[in-house]
């Protein structure tokens, strides 16, 4: 017993100061790829390399529509390597959680040169997944009410709806002394009956759909759903196939999306705190939410 205490005292406090202070992250960490759309001369090499199709393009006559979806991104960095014009850069930014799936999607429109490279940028816009603004504002109000009810203390039920277990490793890390999610009054609980939030990793497999639905239905109202990781948001590299339904929002209404493959613990923390209104969405240059 004495030895245990001695070791504990010698170790001291190891808990991170995030989010009250910015996270200390290695310079080599691959976070959000940032796109200088003005400078980008050709989106095709990056799109060819992208393993999940997070970068895609479509040409009509002499114009091109390029779509970048951070909800599909696995942060591999191949797009930056494939774009020699330095228009795509890998940043250390990881706080990408958002309530609006559409804000993760960027669209750039170009006019084209004869060889298929970009001549001129004509427009950059955000995707709109939920185009109906009335539905959105009702959703926002409902969320506010829920946040008031849940804000100070939160019980989370985690469901792996088909993930590779990568996201689970980082979710489990939230309970370690470094990230220590309990300091926010947030607990992981065993039963959905005790839970306020469903934290779901995906892709949702055909074999897990029913279990996921039953878990959701077993939760008392009000309840929040957070989709974790590229697969949870969009199906990621697995996408949709005979055995995979794709992202969590194919099955459940999702309140917050946390990009990453997997999202690092601080990113999870940001997303969870965002869902209960204790943090705001982070805005980046080409990622201005709503």
> Contact residues for another protein (CB under 8 A)?
3-4, 7-8, 11, 14, 25-26, 28-30, 49-52, 74-78, 158-173, 175-178, 188, 190-192, 203, 205-212, 215, 231, 236-238, 240-244, 261-262, 264
State yes or no: cis peptide before 10, omega within 30 of 0.
no
Question: Minimal distance in Å, beta carbon 214 to another protein?
Answer: 8
Nearer to another protein, 124 or 237 (CB): 237
| Residue 212 to residue 48: CA distance in whole angstroms | 34
Nearer to another protein, 87 or 195 (CB): 195
Question: Minimal distance in Å, beta carbon 284 to another protein?
Answer: 19
Residue 80 vs residues 53, 76, 167: alpha-carbon distances, Å = 14, 9, 24
Question: Minimal distance in Å, beta carbon 244 to another protein?
Answer: 4
Nearest residue to 197 (alpha-carbon basis) of 274, 289, 130, 139 = 274
Question: Minimal distance in Å, beta carbon 29 to another protein?
Answer: 5
Alpha helices in the chain (DSSP H): 2-11, 44-49, 78-81, 133-150, 166-173, 209-218, 229-234, 265-275
Nearer to another protein, 162 or 259 (CB): 162
Nearer to another protein, 261 or 273 (CB): 261
Question: Minimal distance in Å, beta carbon 252 to another protein?
Answer: 14
| Residue 105 to residue 282: CA distance in whole angstroms | 15
**Exposed e or buried b per residue across 253-268, where buried means at least 16 C-beta atoms within 10 angstroms of its C-beta:** ebbbbbbbbbbbbbbb
Nearer to another protein, 52 or 98 (CB): 52
Give the residue carrying structure tokens 């009410």: 145
């Amino acid at each position: 017993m004495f030895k245990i205490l001695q070791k504990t005292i010698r170790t001291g406090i190891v808990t991170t100061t995030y989010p009250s202070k910015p996270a200390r992250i290695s310079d080599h960490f691959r976070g959000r790829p940032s796109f200088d759309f003005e400078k980008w001369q050709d989106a095709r090499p990056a799109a060819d390399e992208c393993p999940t199709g997070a970068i895609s393009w479509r040409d009509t006559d002499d114009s091109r529509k390029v779509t970048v979806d951070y909800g599909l991104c696995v942060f591999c960095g191949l797009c930056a390597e494939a774009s020699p014009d330095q228009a795509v850069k890998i940043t250390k930014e990881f706080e990408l959680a958002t309530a609006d799936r559409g804000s993760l999607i960027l669209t750039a429109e170009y006019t084209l040169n004869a060889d298929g490279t970009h001549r001129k940028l004509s427009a950059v816009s955000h995707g709109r997944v939920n185009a109906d603004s009335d539905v959105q504002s009702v959703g926002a109000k409902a969320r506010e009410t829920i946040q008031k009810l849940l804000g100070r203390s939160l019980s989370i039920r985690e469901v792996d709806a088909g993930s590779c277990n990568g996201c689970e490793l980082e979710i489990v890390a939230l309970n370690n002394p470094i990230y220590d999610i309990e300091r926010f009054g947030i607990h992981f609980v065993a039963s959905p009956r005790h839970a306020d939030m469903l934290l779901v990793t995906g892709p949702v497999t055909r074999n897990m759909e029913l279990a996921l639905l039953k878990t959701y239905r077993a939760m008392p109202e009000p309840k929040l759903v957070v989709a974790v990781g590229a697969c949870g948001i969009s199906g990621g590299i697995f996408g949709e196939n005979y055995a995979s339904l794709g992202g969590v929002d194919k099955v459940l209404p999702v309140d917050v999306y946390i990009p990453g493959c997997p999202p690092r613990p601080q990113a999870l923390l940001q997303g969870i705190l965002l869902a209960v209104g204790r943090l705001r969405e982070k805005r980046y240059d080409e990622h201005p939410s709503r």
